[in-house]
Structure 1
């Protein structure tokens, strides 16, 4: 899907940008509107100056999931007030922003178009360059904003509602896919299992909370693809097993709901931990980065910390506030790509979005630059 400006297409102007670059990032890929401002500092990790986020959870709860049209409309209502809020917090005028970045994909097409359209309109009005960012690269680099930032190279476990991947990361734009889900992602397994248990939206966090009071060994649930050194994931069979167990319990489900939730969470976390350790073993790397919404799961963090601590491996997470979709990760990814010289800024204000966009494709585009 492409939306172009009415003016004739010309070769975009390439710009040299100074140090102390201020990048405004806009995230609108799904059901959270995020805006943030970061500033580059030579070769150091960019500094987060301010951020603001609006979640649509309350709006979508009545429907049991995200309604794309409602999500797009809400982004339209929220993005400019959030931008004003961020600039006010940072003590920065809009005219002082050097680059405007936005989430180009993957995500919901209509939601992505809102962020892209606003970013390009602001950039055109201000005569500033604009830059489209890969949503997953934002998650991948978000731990660099934490109090304990990682160093390259590392293995990355990307776990979110729609993606579960293991990547080898040697630098910005230098990514190698080690394994990925062949069906449901870990976040989907949490959410779909929660729905089978009759839990409200958003199911994953509710299931995790319920699981804290249950017995993780109460039900024997499958852990697919753990043999043979395979780094791919599969969670669809787990969802079926949860449904089967719920049907067997029948009227007794309510009494055993916490145990089934705990057993479900334990199965998902066990697979994620064991696959991550295997990826570290196969690559020989001693550093693991965990990013994405499921990275906020406390059981996952506890088990990874314990397993990696025993093996002498450092584990890095984004701050909890940066695990969900947010503008800070988009602004950061744009700034780090600019620092690395991978994506020269241009004043090309036509825009497109990519609802489906494999992260591995960034490697080829980075090499071309």
Structure 2
């Protein structure tokens, strides 16, 4: 009995000194698990977040103002978004490689002036003037690419410099005068021609924009060039060691972006029915905003052109919806800026996902 009592006492003493195990916090685990699932989902599908924002915005503005969802207003939103979307497509290619292009607006506006000058002052046929304008825009993009890849200058510094150069040349060539669309061949303003679909009006410029997005969606997702663009932006040194000619990839990206900016210039002429040297001040920020809102990472290597299209539509929807609601322009800019900050913060959170 004594042995039993001592053993039992020892057992009771051991039990008394042992600390109770903490109970699992199931609510916390559930919350963390949900957050991780969302994080992984957005990391694998970067367009889901922007798409949700776009849908919510459309529904909200339609409730507040029934005119928002009317066909004429939607036609206006798409027409306003078209130019920025084309420019943002070129910007997307560059940001995917962890670069940035501040000369977007300057190249687009200067290309539009050159096209108009070729067609009017030089008396060239519309097709020749258009082709030369496209070549000029491509050459401007190639210059950016040469300075980045051969001279090894940072993209920010390169495009900041060419921004000033191209805008200055634009002022010299145009003499700060607007060239009317009526003075140009009809091909120059053709992109602004509308196609009636019931009460909805679709411009040829918008069709060109959608076709460009389809082409580059395929190029980035289905071709070796697209895979090299993503690899270069994700880790340029690892891509180089894997045998990818990263300098060629970067040069091609800046050159193709220049061509896209020139196409945007053609669409711009059709949109304005003129070639004006005084537009494009906000094109740089608007294109970057569309790319960021579309889920493309500013650190490179992640994103899609479909996201950029959605981002451009978000900007157009918010500005149009707030305008219909009677919100002042300054607060419209405030709302867009807030969206950008949220998008960048979300991108930082998504990049922390663990495999």
| TM-score bucket (shorter structure) | under 0.3
Which has the larger helix fraction? 2
TM-score, structure 2 as length reference: 0.27
Which has the larger strand fraction? 1
TM-score, structure 1 as length reference: 0.26
Which of structures 1 and 2 has the bigger CA Rg?
2
